[in-house]
Amino acid sequence: MTRSTRTITTEAALSARNWYVADADGQVLGRLATRVADVLRGKHNPGFSPHIDAGDFVVVVNAEKIRLTGNKLLQKQYVRHSEYPGGIRRATASQVLAKHPTRVVYEAVVGMLPKNRLGRRLATKLKVYAGPDHPHQAQKPLPLAEVR
């Protein structure tokens, strides 16, 4: 008797992708980021498989009004490197929010995705905007609260 080691995937999980919109106004950064990362991965779908991109698109608006708890505005550091010697750049969360408010939400969500090709592909389905307007009205996004 031979056992099959083939992984079975459902076509329903890969079929239509939904669009969701999340309002970050007053939301705590980490809690919003985990919900968005789960939807991007497709963990809310019954046919979830960790190796398949079965997630949905997520649009995050009002990223400039995100809330960080405790002393994170002053103590949390965002570090990047230019790949040149001495090219390390550090900025606190308050500096990044003032200059690039979308980067705080984007990096929090992408940091919760897998660190491989699948994670990079999932990150392309995340759209973050600083204000309340976004150009994805034609996709008729649903509120993120309707996911759970």
CATH code at position 127: 3.90.1180.10
Residue 2 within a domain? no
Residue 120 within a domain? yes
Which tens digit of pLDDT belongs to each residue from 60-100? 999 999 999 999 999 999 999 999 999 999 999 999 999 99
CA dist., res. 92 & res. 75, Å (int): 6
* Tokens 């019954």 found at: 46
Q: How many domains does the chain have?
A: 1
Question: Residue 36 belongs to what domain range?
Answer: 17-68+102-146
Residue 52 within a domain? yes
Residue 122 within a domain? yes
Residue 91 within a domain? no
Residue 137 within a domain? yes
Does residue 12 carry a pLDDT above 60?
no
Residue 79 within a domain? no
Q: So what's the pLDDT on residue 145? A: 86
R_g of the chain, CA atoms, integer Å: 18
Percent of the chain surpassing pLDDT 90: 80
Mean pLDDT of 47-67: 93
Q: So what's the pLDDT on residue 5? A: 66
Which tens digit of pLDDT belongs to each residue from 22-39? 999 999 999 999 999 999
Residues contacting residue 114 through CB under 8 Å, at least 6 positions apart: 122
Residue 10 within a domain? no
